[in-house]
Amino acid sequence: MDAIDLLQRYLDQPLKEGAFFDPAESVPLAGVVPEHWRAAVVDDKGRVERIPYELCVLGALRDALRRREVWVVGANRWRNPEDDLPADFEDNRDVHYAALGQPQDAGEFISALQGKLRTSLDRFEQALAEGATGGVAIVK
């Protein structure tokens, strides 16, 4: 959200007046600029170029919306995930978890998920050894 605030502060400044952010600005890079984009965003003098940075911010925002880490007030698809829960969720948590067939204990849920993952990986490893992966291969 700090990156969005930064873009908003520079919204009215034309690019011809500055293709880079002011050196005094605190430009958030972690969690915004992927490592493989770093060279395109930050030049050899440490200045942050606005256009590639804005693209990274938009990409990070898209990813956060997809994970529902952030949401848009008044939107339907990108709304607050808490609005997806039934109104009586807290009062009837056990009923809702039972209907979903899920345990209420997070540790139990994670252990079951890890078990499924281990089983699937074991089956895949066995299929690799037997050459029965249907064309899927691991190559270096």
String of DSSP letters for 47-115: PBBHHHHHHHHHHHHHHHHHHTSS--TT-STTS-GGGGS-TTTTTTHHHHHHHHT--S-HHHHHHHHHH
Q: Is the same domain home to 74 and 124?
A: no
Residue 18 has pLDDT above 70, yes or no: no
Percent of the chain as helix, strand, coil, to the nearest 5: 50, 5, 45
Task: Please give the residue range of the domain that contains residue 56.
Answer: 2-84
pLDDT tier, 17 (very low <50, low <70, confident <90, very high otherwise):
low
Q: Is the same domain home to 11 and 80?
A: yes
Q: Is the same domain home to 72 and 39?
A: yes
Q: Is the same domain home to 76 and 23?
A: yes
Kindly list the distances between the CA atom of residue 107 and the CA atoms of 96, 111, 112, 113, 115, in Å, as whole numbers in the listed order. Answer: 18, 6, 9, 10, 12
CA distance 39 to 2: 21
Please report whether residue 79 resides in a domain.
yes
Q: Is the same domain home to 45 and 104?
A: no
Span 27-42, average pLDDT? 94
Q: Is the same domain home to 43 and 10?
A: yes
Instruction: Output the six-digit token pair for 61.
Output: 């925002």
Q: Is the same domain home to 114 and 79?
A: no
Among 26, 10, 28, residue whose Cα is nearest residue 18:
10
Q: Is the same domain home to 113 and 49?
A: no
- Cα angle, residue 118 at apex, residues 108 and 116 outer, rounded to 5°: 50
Q: Is the same domain home to 25 and 48?
A: yes
pLDDT in tens, 55-103: 999 999 999 999 999 999 989 888 998 888 888 988 999 999 999 999 9
Please report whether residue 76 resides in a domain.
yes
Residue partners of 60: CB distance under 8 A and separation at least 6: 3, 31, 32
Please report whether residue 40 resides in a domain.
yes
HSE toward the beta carbon, residue 41, CA cutoff 13 A: 17
Quote the pTM value: 0.64
